[in-house]
Amino acid sequence: SATHRIAVLPGDGVGPEICDRAIDVLGKITELYGHSFEFTHADVGGIAYEKHGQHLPEATLELCRNSSAILFGCVGGPVDQQHVPKWKDAEKIALLGLRKAFNLAVNLRPAAVYPFLSNLSPLKDSIVNKGIDVVIVRELVSGIYFGDHSTAEDGKSAVDVMSYSWDEVVTPVRFAFESAMLRKKNLTVVDKANVLDTSRLWRKVALDLAKQYPEVTVNFMYIDNAVMQIIKDPSQFDVVVTGNMFGDILSDAASVLPGSLGLMPSASLSTVEGENTIHMYEPIHGTAPDIAGKNLVNPIAQILSAAMMLRYSYNLEAEARCIEKAVEKVLADGGRTGDLLGGVKGQSSMSCTEMSAAIIAAMEK
Ligand code: IPM
Ligand code: MN
C-alpha cells in the first residue's frame, strides 16, 4: 500500500517529546499491520521564529502541502515572557495560519472520563459515575476569529466582526449530525440565539439538517448555560456543535472534566476534498515549559491524536482502536505519568518514554 506522508511540526516546549512518542507508536502500527509512514519534520512557533524569523515559515507550509496529514505538537512560551518577539502571538499566528491555509473547518475535541480514572476528575463521584463522554465539534475557520478586526487610531474603540454564511455553518453541523449517528444520537447546538443573528442562522441550519437525520435528538442551548451544564451535569451531552469562539470557551470548560489535559487529543479536519485533504492532529495541552525536555510529560494526548489521524486521514479504524485499547489497558492496569497521580502518595509515576513503551507493549492486532 502507499506510503502515508506525515508532516511533523513539534513546535516548542514538550512538543518534540510527545511527537517522538506518537511516532514510536505509529512504528508499532507499521510492525503489526504493515502500513508505511514517512515522517518529515519542520519548525513552527517560537523555535521557528528563532531559526527563520517567522512563527509559521513558508517552508513549513510547503512541507504540509506535500503531506497527507499534519502531526502538530504545541507552540508558545512561558506566561511571563509573552512580550518577547519569539513568543508574542506565536500560538495565534501558527494555529490560525495553519487552520486557514488548509481550511481546517471542523475541530473535534473529545472529552471522556475513563471510569478507572474518575478519582482525577474534579467533579463529585455522583456526577462522574453517570458517565462522561462528550465530543465537541467546533467551527474553526470562520466567525469572529476571522472577521475584520480593527482598532481606531486613537486606540479608544475597536471592532471585531462575527459573520457566518449558511455554507460555513452547514459543514460543522453536518459533521456533528454524522458523528451523533455513530454515537448516542443526541446533538446539542450551542449558541447565543437570544441575542445574536449569527446564532439564529445556526439554529436555522441545524433545523434544516435535522430533517435528514430524524433519528437524532436535537437540543439547543445558550453558551452561558452550556458552560454551566457541562460542569454540573456533563452526562447529558453526547455531541455538541458550536461556533468558533463559543467552541473555544466550551472546550476549555470540558477539558477539566477528565482531570488532566495530558489525556486529551484533538483533530482539525479539512473541508478540501480529494487528494489535497490535509487534516491536522494535536493535543489539547500547551507547551508546559516547566517540564519540557525532562521526559516527564504525559504522551497520551498526542498518542491518541495519532489514533485520530489513522481514523480520519487514513480510514484505519481497527488500527486507531488498537492504539486506543492499548492506552485504556495501560491506564486500567495502573500506569500513571505524574499528571495522573491525583495526589495519591507513595504511587510511583512513569516517565514519558516508559508510558509510551507500556502502550506499545500493550498494542495487539
Ligand atoms: C485553541 C487556542 C487558540 C484558539 C488560540 C491560541 C488562538 O486557544 O486552540 O483553543 O483560541 O483557537
Ligand atoms: Mn482555546
Sequence ranges of the domains in the chain: 1-107+263-365, 122-257
Q: Is the pLDDT of residue 345 over 80?
A: no
Which residue has a Cα nearest atom 3 of ligand 1? 92
- pLDDT at residue number 271: 92
Mean pLDDT of the chain: 97
| pLDDT at position 85 | 97
Mean pLDDT of 53-68: 98
Q: Which ligand places an atom closest to the C-alpha of 109? A: 1
Coil/strand/helix, residue 328:
helix
How many whole angstroms separate alpha carbon 139 and alpha carbon 159?
A: 21
pLDDT at 276: 84
Ligand 1 center from residue 344 Cα (angstroms)? 32
Q: Would the pLDDT of 343 be above 90?
A: no
CA dihedral defined by 195, 196, 202, 207, rounded to 10 degrees? 40
Cell representation of residue 276: 489535497
**Ligand 1 neighbourhood includes 250 CB (under 6 angstroms):** no
CATH code assigned to 1-107+263-365? 3.40.718.10
Residue 357 host element (H or E)? helix 352-362
Annotated catalytic residue 133:
no
> In which residue are the cell numbers 463559543 written?
246
CA of 248 to the centre of ligand 1 (A): 7
Least confident of 178-192, 264-278, 285-299: 264-278
Query: Per the residue annotation, which of 12, 43, 49, 145 is the catalytic one?
Result: 145
pLDDT digits (tens, 9 = 90+) for 201-230: 999 999 999 999 999 999 999 999 999 999
Mean of pLDDT values over 186-213: 98
Q: Which whole number is the average pLDDT over 346-355? A: 90
Q: How far is CA 123 from the centre of its chain?
A: 22
Q: Atom 8, ligand 1: which residue's CA is nearest?
A: 248
Rounded to an integer, the average pLDDT of 321-345 is: 93
Choosing from 167, 252, 290, 333, the catalytic residue is 252
Q: Which protein residue's CA is at the shortest distance from atom 1 of ligand 1?
A: 248
Q: Tell me what pLDDT residue 261 has.
A: 95
**pLDDT of 246:** 98
For the cut 90, the answer to whether the pLDDT of residue 283 exceeds it is: yes
Task: Report H helices in 255-351.
Answer: 300-312, 317-332
Q: Which ligand is nearest to the CA of 96?
A: 1
Residue 114 near residue 327 (C-beta atoms within 8 A)? no
* Closest of 16, 36, 19 to residue 27, by C-alpha: 36
pLDDT of residue 157: 98
Closest ligand 1 atom number to CA of residue 92: 7
89 lines ligand 1 (CB under 6 A): no
CB of 248 within 8 A of CB of 272?
no
Task: For 100-127, write each residue's pLDDT tens digit.
Answer: 999 999 999 999 999 999 999 999 999 9
Per-residue pLDDT, 16: 98
Ligand 1, residue 251: give the atom nearest the CA.
Answer: 10
Q: What is the pLDDT of residue 355?
A: 98
**pLDDT for 329:** 98
Distance 236 CA to ligand 2 centre (A): 23
81-85, 281-285, 346-350: which has the minimum mean pLDDT? 346-350
Give the least confident one: 1-10, 155-164, 340-349: 340-349
User: Counting atoms of ligand 1 from 1, which one is nearest the CA of 76?
Assistant: 6
Tell me 350's DSSP state: B
**3 state SS of 61:** helix
Query: Which of the following is catalytic: 28, 43, 191, 192?
Result: 192
pLDDT tier for residue 274 given thresholds of 50, 70 and 90:
confident
Domain 122-257: which CATH number of 3.40.718.10, 3.40.50.1000, 1.50.10.10, 1.10.10.10: 3.40.718.10
Least confident among 39-48, 154-163, 333-342, 353-362: 333-342
Please give the average per-residue pLDDT across 256-283, as a whole number. Answer: 94
Which of 95, 139, 146, 305 to mutate for ligand 1's pocket (most ligand atoms within 8 Å of CB)? 95
Question: Quick check: helix, strand or coil at residue 150?
Answer: strand
In whole angstroms, what is the distance from residue 14 CA to residue 282 CA? Answer: 12
Selected catalytic residue, list 125, 160, 167, 224: 224
Contact between residue 241 and residue 223 where contact means Cβ atoms under 8 Å apart: no
User: Mean pLDDT across the stretch 130-151?
Assistant: 98
ipTM of the complex: 0.99
- pLDDT of 47 reads 98
* Separation CA 293–CA 247 (nearest Å): 31
Catalytic residue among 248, 312, 314, 339: 248
CB-ligand 1 contact for 139 (6 Å cutoff): no
| Whether residue 365 lies in the annotated active site | no
Taking the CA of 143 as reference, the closest ligand is 1
Q: What is the pLDDT of residue 273?
A: 87
List the beta strands (DSSP E) in the chain.
3-11, 36-41, 69-74, 106-112, 133-139, 149-151, 158-160, 186-191, 217-222, 239-242, 265-269, 279-283
The pLDDT of residue 347 is above 90: no
280 CB within 6 A, ligand 1: no
Residue 236 has which C-alpha cell? 447529558
Residue 192's pLDDT is what? 98
Pair 132, 120: CB distance under 8 Å: no
- What value does the mean pLDDT take over residues 250-272? 95
**Paired residues of 222 in beta bridges:** 191
Beta strands, E only, 202-341: 217-222, 239-242, 265-269, 279-283
Spacing, Cα 222 to ligand 2 middle (Å):
19
- Give me ligand 2 centre to Cα 286, in Å: 10
Least confident of 93-107, 175-189, 193-207, 332-346: 332-346
Mean pLDDT of 55-67: 98
3-class state of residue 126 by DSSP: helix
Compute the half-sphere exposure of residue 331: CA atoms within 13 Å on the CB side of its CA.
Answer: 26
Q: Which of 110-119, 181-190, 269-278 has the highest mean pLDDT?
A: 181-190
**CB half-sphere exposure, 322, CA atoms < 13 A:** 22
Q: Confidence class of residue 326 from pLDDT cuts 50, 70 and 90?
A: very high
* Ligand 1 proximity of 12 Cβ (cutoff 6 Å): no
> CA 102, CA 19: separation in Å to the nearest integer?
21
Residue nearest to atom 11 of ligand 1 (CA): 248
CA–CA gap between residue 24 and residue 8 (Å, rounded):
13
pLDDT score for 275: 80
Fold equal for 1-107+263-365 and 122-257: yes
